Amino acid sequence: MKLTMIVSEGANGFFIGKIQEIPAVLTQGRSIEEAQENLQDALELYLEDMREENATDNAVWKKDLTLA
């Protein structure tokens, strides 16, 4: 699965990072590189929260999926 990172110039010298396919993942940084790093962290936190929110305690089968 491919996701698209978009970094745009914001106010006061900050760069705004977002994931095009997941609008809820949004962050900022003082450089493009920092915005990208923060975006990776924000995506991981978002997916972790979604996993907890949609817990399947009564599931009969469960396996982690790694995307290349």
Question: Which pLDDT tens digit goes with each residue over 18-49?
Answer: 999 999 999 999 999 999 999 999 999 999 98
In a domain, 56, yes or no: no
Answer whether residue 15 is part of any domain.
Answer: yes
In the sheet that holds 5-9, the strands lie side by side as: 5-9, 15-19, 22-29
Asked if residue 20 is part of any domain, the answer here is: yes
pLDDT beyond 80 at 61: no
In a domain, 25, yes or no: yes
Q: 4: how many CB neighbours lie within 10 A of its CB?
A: 9
What is the reported pLDDT for 20? 95
pTM of the model: 0.74
Mean confidence (pLDDT) of the chain: 89
pLDDT of residue 36: 95
Whether the predicted pLDDT of 8 surpasses 90: yes
Please answer whether residues 52 and 45 qualify as being in contact, where contact means their C-beta atoms are separated by less than 8 angstroms: no
